């Protein structure tokens, strides 16, 4: 077969070139601009929503015990890192207690790169939560708090934190399981945790676990040593209940209202129910009654306990607040003037009430022996338990008899004052307690909110 004429080949080449040129002319060269809507996924939007309310925490500490994950011997000075979330624009930040435990200088760096020194306000060792405070020059963005009551295994979640020191690291995963119990060390046990396969690494502790709406539904707390894709977070509802209690104890040093509050039941609840009103208190003087539902403090809505406590932060005795109250279905406004904390709460014999939430009374030795056939030499009757206190959370109730704390018997109020006033109390906190209930002996652990951490 004869060769094809070369001029035909050249012609085909030119046609091909012209076709490519025409196609190129039809293409529009994109110009730099905002990311397309397709790239603005719910996760991208969620991170944009919370980024400025997540902070990085660094500090140096001396290890008191062996770090099982890092295999570092006790007694060494190490550089620690973690994460926190802003819960109030005035600089109140929530994190894990183990992130700041033993740190002399807590360094907090925001999304803007500015670093400040924080102080420890309050902490709870049992749940491993703490509140720290910085003094910002302007109001800080606050994280949006969701609920953990409706979480579903398989739903998408996002973790944000200072992973291995890489600030604002974002990882995605799903909820693997709910209500996990995890023992991470001899001293630390967590119950009712969220399990996720979103990567949670050292440094993520204290950071938020988010849903796709950008709401915090948990606080990242632990990883499973030697396992991949297994991380844990404290559910947001539990976090907020504990944080509200921590802030209440902090506020109570400067202002007193005389109410015991409890959140209304149900996801759709909007308000805090007044469970009890102390006699001769500001709440009693204002006309508040048990059963009233507080829906706002001044212009701040109070759907749950944390809202109420944040509204009272930095208030002091003599300050006037206006409570919006729902009574028998009708809204009313109740003016209330905060007062100085009664002296009875400051006395050493009442440390059990202020630190534990227990009102105790001595029992005559003869009466104790007649009623209780036990080897204990005596005990203290529990007269009352403060709602939402450490004692209430441990299930202690009126009528129980406190017979021991840690290694000491509690025969008198002086015994309790001695235990709670010990300079090394932090090393035995939470304090093991023993109670008699009818013919049985029970024990548990009470997390004591130390006065030295509430400054």
What count of other Cβ atoms lies within 10 Å of the Cβ of residue 222? 24
CATH of the domain at 207: 2.40.10.10
Q: What is the largest CA-CA distance in the chain?
A: 128
Q: Does 142 map to a domain?
A: no
Q: Name the domain boundary from 70, 98, 133.
A: 133
Domain match, 351 and 446 both: yes
Sequential pLDDT tens for the chain (455 residues): 555 444 443 333 333 333 444 444 444 555 555 667 889 999 999 999 999 999 999 988 765 544 444 444 445 566 789 999 999 999 999 999 999 988 889 999 998 899 999 999 888 877 899 999 999 999 999 999 999 999 999 999 999 999 999 999 999 999 999 999 988 776 678 889 999 999 999 899 999 999 999 999 999 997 776 667 899 999 999 999 889 888 887 887 788 898 877 765 444 567 888 877 877 889 999 999 988 999 999 989 998 889 999 999 999 999 999 999 999 888 999 999 999 876 544 544 457 877 888 888 888 777 887 788 777 778 888 888 877 778 888 888 888 999 988 888 888 777 787 788 776 777 778 888 999 987 788 888 888 766 433 32
Q: Name the domain boundary from 208, 238, 268.
A: 238
Q: Which residue's structure tokens are 């020191």?
A: 165
Domain match, 362 and 445 both: yes
Q: What is the domain count for the chain? A: 4
Domain match, 347 and 283 both: no
Task: Report, as residue numbers or ranges, the catalytic residues.
Answer: 98, 128, 205
Q: Name the domain boundary from 207, 238, 269.
A: 238
Enclosing H/E stretch for 312: helix 305-312
Q: Does 110 map to a domain?
A: yes
Q: Does 7 map to a domain?
A: no
Q: What is the pLDDT of residue 377?
A: 75
Distance CA 92, CA 99 (A): 16
Q: Does 294 map to a domain?
A: yes
Helix (H, G, I), strand (E, B) or coil at 357: coil
Q: Does 26 map to a domain?
A: no
Domain match, 81 and 161 both: no
What count of other Cβ atoms lies within 10 Å of the Cβ of residue 260? 17
Q: What is the pLDDT of residue 264?
A: 57
Domain match, 115 and 52 both: yes
Range of the domain at 104: 47-133
Q: Does 376 map to a domain?
A: yes
Q: Does 1 map to a domain?
A: no
Q: Residues 251, 314: contact at Cβ < 8 Å?
A: no
Domain match, 192 and 124 both: no
> Which long-range CB contacts under 8 A does 178-184 form with residues at least 24 apart?
178/151, 178/153, 180/232, 182/222, 182/224, 182/232, 184/68, 184/222
CATH of the domain at 92: 2.40.10.120
Domain match, 389 and 433 both: yes
CATH of the domain at 347: 2.30.42.10
Q: Does 148 map to a domain?
A: no
């Amino acid at each position: 077969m004869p060769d094809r004429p070369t001029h035909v080949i050249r012609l085909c080449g030119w046609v091909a070139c012209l076709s490519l040129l025409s196609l190129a002319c039809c293409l529009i060269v994109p110009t730099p601009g905002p990311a397309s809507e397709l790239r603005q996924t719910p996760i991208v939007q969620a991170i944009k929503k919370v980024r400025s309310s997540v902070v990085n925490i660094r500090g140096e500490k001396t290890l008191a015990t062996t770090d099982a994950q890092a295999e570092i011997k006790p007694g060494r000075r190490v550089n620690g890192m973690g994460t926190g979330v802003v819960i109030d624009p005035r600089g109140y930040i929530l994190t894990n207690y183990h992130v700041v435990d033993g740190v002399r200088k807590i360094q907090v760096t925001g999304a803007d790169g500015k670093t400040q020194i924080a102080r420890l306000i309050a902490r709870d060792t049992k749940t491993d939560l703490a509140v720290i405070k910085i003094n910002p020059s302007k109001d800080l963005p606050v994280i949006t708090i969701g609920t953990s009551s409706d979480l579903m295994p398989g739903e998408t979640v996002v973790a944000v934190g200072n992973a291995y020191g890489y600030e604002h690291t974002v990882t995605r995963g799903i909820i693997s399981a709910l209500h996990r119990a995890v023992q991470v060390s001899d001293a630390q046990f967590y119950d009712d945790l969220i399990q996720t396969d979103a990567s949670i690494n050292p440094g993520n502790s204290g950071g938020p676990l988010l849903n796709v709406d950008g709401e915090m539904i948990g606080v990242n707390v632990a990883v499973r040593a030697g396992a991949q894709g297994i991380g844990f977070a404290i559910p947001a509802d539990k976090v907020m209940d504990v944080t509200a209690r921590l802030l209440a104890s902090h506020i109570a040093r400067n202002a007193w209202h005389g109410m015991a509050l409890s959140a209304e039941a149900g996801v759709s609840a909007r308000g805090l129910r007044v469970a009890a009103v102390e006699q001769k208190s500001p709440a009693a003087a204002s006309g508040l009654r048990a059963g009233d539902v507080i829906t706002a403090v001044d212009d701040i809505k109070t759907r749950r306990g944390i809202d109420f406590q944040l509204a009272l932060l930095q208030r002091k005795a003599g300050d006037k607040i206006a409570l919006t109250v729902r009574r028998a279905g009708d809204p009313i406004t109740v003016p209330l003037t905060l007062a100085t904390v009664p002296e009875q709460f400051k006395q050493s014999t009442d440390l059990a009430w202020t630190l534990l939430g227990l009102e105790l009374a001595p029992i005559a030795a003869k009466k104790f022996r007649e009623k209780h056939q036990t080897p204990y030499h005596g005990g203290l009757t529990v007269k009352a338990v403060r709602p939402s206190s450490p004692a209430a959370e441990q299930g202690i109730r009126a009528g129980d008899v406190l017979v021991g704390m840690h290694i000491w018997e509690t025969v008198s109020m002086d015994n309790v004052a001695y235990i709670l006033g010990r300079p090394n109390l932090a090393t035995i906190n939470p304090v093991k307690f023993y109670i008699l209930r009818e013919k049985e002996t029970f024990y548990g652990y009470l997390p004591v909110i130390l006065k030295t951490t509430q400054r």
